Chain A
């Protein structure tokens, strides 16, 4: 499939990238690893006039420790991050979610920032322009209603970042830089909850860094998928246990991951926590396995993830 036409610009640092964005006067997109964006371009789901390549920006490629945080540059590839000693030893859920992301070839291309800002997915959305034109545009494409749930004026597309779930369970923060300046906010705040426009980032904002509290955090990530590689999650559950606190994050269903925090978590609460995790989850028939099954798997995978996290904690 052919790419649409666009202008290509390469930014040498963050201010330059933002300046290029402002010059473009709308219609620009940032390009990092491209593993999410390029397929969207080919399907004509995104037709930017300018692509601003930010993947060569040196400051976004570093991993460092600062002020009690592990600071991960947004352009660090999933593969490099996976192999970082600190990630391997300290952040159990993240280690596992990185390993579970697609396949190593794509992990070497895809970046952690891009992985977090990937668009939401739906069997009825990630299709060619011909397919979608024949079917009629859905709410996410500017149409009036959803093509999966008839008459619903909402979007039920799924946010499929494996690593968002684990980072949320680790209470990650993100740094954003944009035309309006810099800000740092909890990762959970970048999600709008609306599948049509899943992120709260302002136009031109770049996710530059991810901050993780430097604490040994036993955890685990469980992923529901049909094949053992490449596939996006049909459901992903990350669990991190720090002291008496358990953070459970359910992703892969709906436009934003859901976080459940259990402040006084103890081993006797495993089943109850697992049930609680599945309570608010509302999958629809927009992925390759049935919604009823995906919902049913939330407590199953949550229980498994908690048990493995506890095991790691005891070690």
Chain B
């Protein structure tokens, strides 16, 4: 094993796998508490309307109904990730702003009774003019969703570095294109479900989440309850992808109902509600203007990106910024201007997404390829020329510590014979490459760090306590593996207690790619702290130097005279004898510039480190039908170091599906305010039979600060796989896409436009 590591870097079966593949893992929807009631939500049938009155009386008369609530039962506090974006009442009293918005809810003894009760609630609406297209919404005279937001502009992120206009005039080649993409659905395997229980003034919630501490804080604000009385508890999560980062209307509804009814309440959303009433992904229109020198150096970038924000702010400023940042963390931009507008429309609420920004990122990459080609350069050369390297500083002043970008480009190219294939793709064929960088964490104030407590039990086993959460990506198994490495005991000897706000300490959560770099680092440090005590005690008992002690296979043993050894459990018991049980804490706080702010001060160190990745897609286009097939997809990812390579590969393969193949088919379809495909039949998640042959390449840049060198496991593929497809299509057709997804009808239009242009 390299560098004397026992288990880190090994392909181990994840600690959660057995329970999940045998169906024994419990999710919120599986929970049954004594006397539990069923909740159902009455939703707005109108995209925009004033609420004149809500009468719950009819519902309360239905036998078996134990509570009914509306916005008039709330504290009136509105939700928003930032103080300046608090616009979402979750249960409105003034007006509804999208079809499906939560208006009232009931808790009853069973679902049928709850449904009957909903039908007896009377809501008087005064319909208002609505607006569904963000560009329409920005025009003077468009219906306004919120007071005080001129032209429905929820957020305007303005970044201006250098002298963009001057650089454009000096550039040898300038090109401007506009790219569109339909918003996606998260389509988690598990539809949203919440169980809430209120006893003696304490509220307990089981709900899939990407950060229990931020969820509890949001709920304590919304309910005006002290934070320590709101407990978000551990539960398995059937997928998040960014869609479970924030408090959801269902959390408030279920909490209010259980408080009112005095009995536990479960709310389980249908697949349709999961699509229309939790969160969706932004539709995007990105205009990308690039100025290049004759040698292919990018001189300037000028961006205007419009995000369809739906009815409320949600993660507003973050959502309107991230696509830009993951790109500027990858390439050198001496001059850059970015105007990101997040615009209110009368559509469902939108949040962050692991694959967020495909129009922007795929557009940038495909445009770069065409410009490079004009200058006689290929995609590999142009990326190596403009890609950032370790030690460089990004346009908005983040220093890159470790960087395997060039290596991912080289590895992915070598595996696909990229240059040769790109130069002569063959009729109807193409190959394309997409690159990106990902920040591992971002500024979240005092919540940016993580703390872990670890204790050794008298049988030599360990218990870990951490706020870290697992949404299916394997975070729990990852930290158990890290602890196993440091403590020299097998993974099965470690019990994890995590993501429970009453028990665990703050952690940034699983939505800013910080779980490995920050969360696992805190676990490593905590374990190293108690390891020192185990080693000291063992050295004394064995009569050898501390430096000579190794911990492995549940034993403390001498490195030089292996027969000198004792079980770790004996060491632990000795510590109990001395009245000094072995336990300790460890914290990790990333080096971030906390003055940084998404709108008012968009510069400074964004994250402790950055991961890098390159995807290569090979496409075949049926020129009669426009149908694209992808025979092979190769992804190279610099994850610092793979703690469990099998888990990292799994993340990379999932990303090839969710970002790569999805770009051929996934997109929300709208008829004004109505989502036409709120199901998994007409919303096209790629199936196993649609998947290409996949090759995943792990590049280890060994981050100086990451736990055993780790950064994050696989997200780059989630934000460059669509670029690889778009670039491959550009290689095959010589033209740029104008809209994603690249369904066959759009591809055929592209081919035709191209034919027309050639004539």
Please report A residues at the B interface, Cβ cutoff 8 Å: 1-2, 5, 103, 123-124, 126-128, 130-131, 133-135, 224, 226-232, 288-290, 292-293, 296-297, 300-301
Listed in ascending order, the chain B residues whose CB lies under 8 Å from chain A are 43, 45-46, 99, 111-112, 115, 270-272, 624-626, 664-665, 669, 671, 674, 676-678, 681-682, 684, 686-687, 689-690, 743-745, 748
Nearest-neighbor residue (CB-CB) of B624 within chain A: A300
Contact in complex: A224, B745 (CB < 8 Å): no
Q: How far is the CA of A165 from the CA of B115 in the complex (A)?
A: 41
Select which of B99, B271, B665 is within 8 A of A226 by beta carbon.
B665
21 A-B residue pairs with Cβ-Cβ distance under 8 Å, sorted by A, are: A1-B270, A1-B271, A2-B112, A5-B112, A103-B687, A123-B676, A124-B676, A133-B45, A226-B664, A226-B665, A226-B684, A226-B743, A227-B686, A227-B689, A229-B690, A230-B687, A231-B684, A288-B682, A292-B745, A293-B748, A300-B625
B744 near A293 with CB under 8 A, answer: yes
What is the distance, in angstroms, from B192's C-beta to the closest C-beta of chain A? 14
Q: Contacts A123-B676, A227-B686, A288-B682 given: A134-B115 contact, CB under 8 Å?
A: no
Most buried by B among A126, A227, A292: A227
Q: A130-B272, A228-B687 are in contact. List 13 more A-B contacts (CB 8 A).
A: A123-B682, A127-B272, A130-B45, A134-B674, A135-B671, A135-B674, A224-B625, A227-B686, A227-B690, A228-B690, A230-B681, A231-B681, A301-B625
Residue A128 contacts which of B272, B665, B686, B745 (CB distance < 8 angstroms)? B272
With A224-B625, A227-B686 as contacts: A124 and B743 at CB distance below 8 Å: no
Evaluate contact between A131 and B624: CB separation under 8 angstroms. Answer: no
Contacting residue for A131 out of B272, B626, B745, CB 8 A: B272
List of B residues within 8 angstroms of A226 by Cβ: 664-665, 684, 743-744
Distance between B686 CB and nearest chain A CB, rounded to angstroms? 7
A288: B residues at CB distance < 8 A: 669, 677, 682, 684, 743
A293: which of B45, B111, B678, B745 is its contact (CB, 8 Å)?
B745
- B626 proximity list for chain A (CB < 8 A): 293
| Shortest beta-carbon contacts, A-B, top 8 | A134-B45, A293-B745, A228-B689, A123-B676, A226-B665, A226-B684, A229-B689, A289-B745
CA distance A103 to B272 in the complex (A): 22
In Å, the complex CA distance between A296 and B687 comes to 26
Query: A-side binding surface: helix, strand, loop or mixed?
Result: loop
Bound: A224/B46 CA distance, A: 35
Q: Knowing A288-B669, A300-B625 touch, does A134 contact B689 (C-beta < 8 A)?
A: no
Q: Given A124-B671, A226-B665, A227-B684, do A130 and B625 touch, yes or no (CB 8 Å)?
A: no
A-B contact count (CB 8 A): 74
> What is the bound-complex CA distance between A300 and B676, given in angstroms?
28
Chain B residues with CB under 8 A of A224: 625
Contacts of B690 in A (CB 8 A): 227-229
Q: How far is the CA of A2 from the CA of B114 in the complex (A)?
A: 12
| B748: nearest chain-A partner, CB-CB | A293
- Closest A residue to B270 by CB, please name it: A1
Nearest to A230 among chain B residues (CB) is B687
Cβ–Cβ < 8 Å partners of B689 in chain A: 227-229
* B611 shortest CB reach to chain A, Å: 31
Q: How far apart sit A131 and B676, CA to CA, in the bound complex (Å)?
A: 9
Residues of B within 8 A of A134 (CB): 45-46, 99, 674
Q: Is the CB of B270 within 8 A of A290?
A: no
> A1: which B residues are within 8 A, CB to CB?
270-272
CB proximity of B617 to chain A, nearest CB, Å: 17
Contacts of A229 in B (CB 8 A): 687, 689-690
Q: Which residue of B lies closest to A123 (CB)?
A: B676
- Given A123-B676, A228-B689, A300-B624, A130 contacting B43 (CB threshold 8 A): yes
Inter-chain CA distance A290–B744, complex, in Å, is 10
CA distance A103 to B43 in the complex (A): 34
Whole-angstrom CA separation of A221 from B111 in the bound complex = 44
With a cutoff of 8 Å between Cβ atoms, the chain A residues found around residue B46 in the complex are 134
Whole-angstrom CA separation of A301 from B271 in the bound complex: 34
Q: How many Å from the CB of B3 to the closest CB on chain A?
A: 45
- Rounded to whole angstroms, the CA-CA distance of A301 and B625 in the bound complex is 9
Determine the distance from Cα of A5 to Cα of B687 in the docked complex, in whole angstroms: 33
Q: Which of B115, B681, B682 contacts A2 (CB 8 A)?
A: B115
A301–B626 Cα distance when bound, in Å, is 12
A131-B744 contact, Cβ under 8 Å, with A1-B270, A227-B686, A300-B625: no
Distance A181 CA – B271 CA, assembled complex (angstroms): 43
Beta-carbon contact of A297 and B625 below 8 Å: yes
* B112 surroundings in chain A (CB, below 8 A): 2, 5
Query: Which B residues are in CB contact (< 8 Å) with A297?
Result: 625
**Shortest Cβ distance from residue B301 to the other chain A in the assembled complex, whole angstroms:** 33
Residue of A with least CB distance to B665: A226
**In the complex, which residues of chain A have a beta carbon less than 8 angstroms from the beta carbon of B270?**
1, 128
In this complex, what residue of B is CB-closest to A297? B625
Of all chain B residues, the one with the shortest Cβ separation from A1 is: B270
Min Cβ gap B187→A in Å is: 13
Q: Which of A127, A228, A289 contacts B743, CB < 8 Å?
A: A289
Residue of B nearest to A4 (CB): B112
Residues of A within 8 A of B674 (CB): 131, 134-135
Q: Is the CB of A227 within 8 A of B743?
A: no
- A288 and B664 alpha carbons, distance in the complex (Å): 13
Docked Cα-Cα span, A180 to B641, in Å, equals 75
**In the complex, A228→B689 CA distance in Å?**
6
Determine how close the nearest CB of chain A comes to the CB of B690; give it in whole angstroms.
5
A227 & B625 in contact (Cβ 8 Å cutoff): no
- Expressed in whole angstroms, the Cα–Cα distance for A164 and B111 within the complex equals 39
The answer to whether B745 touches A290 (Cβ under 8 A) is: yes
Q: Give the Cβ gap from B272 to chain A, nearest Cβ, in Å.
A: 5
Closest Cβ of chain B to A267, distance in Å, is: 19
A105 vs B99: C-alpha distance in the bound complex, in angstroms? 34
Pairwise interchain contact B272-A227, C-beta atoms closer than 8 A = no
Residue of A nearest to B684 (CB): A226
Interface centre among A128, A133, A224 (most CB of B within 10 A): A128
Tell me the nearest residue of chain A to B680, going by C-beta. Answer: A230
- Taken together as a complex, chains A and B put the C-alpha atoms of A232 and B744 apart, in Å, by 16
Closest-CB distance, A101 to chain B (whole angstroms): 14
| Nearest residue, chain B, Cβ from A301 | B625
Docked CA distance A301–B254 (Å): 52
Q: Which of A2, A131, A224, A301 has the most CB of B within 10 A?
A: A131
- Say yes or no: B669 contacts A123, CB within 8 Å: yes
Question: In the docked arrangement, what's the CA distance between A131 and B669, Å?
Answer: 14
CA distance A224 to B665 in the complex (A): 14
Rounded to whole angstroms, the CA-CA distance of A123 and B681 in the bound complex is 10
Complexed CA–CA distance, A245 and B745 (Å): 33
Within the complex, the shortest CB–CB distance from A43 to chain B, in Å, comes to 9
A232 CA / B677 CA spacing, docked (Å): 14
- State in angstroms the CA–CA spacing of A297 and B622 once bound together: 12
Most chain B CB atoms below 10 A, which of A126, A127, A290, A300: A127
Q: Which residues of A contact B272 (CB under 8 A)?
A: 1, 127-128, 130-131
User: Smallest CB-CB separation from A224: which chain B residue?
Assistant: B625
**Inter-chain contact B678/A131, CB cutoff 8 Å:** yes
Q: Which residues of A contact B624 (CB under 8 A)?
A: 300
Least CB distance from A167 to B in Å reads 24
The listed residue with most B CB atoms (<10 A of its CB), out of A133, A292, A293, is A293
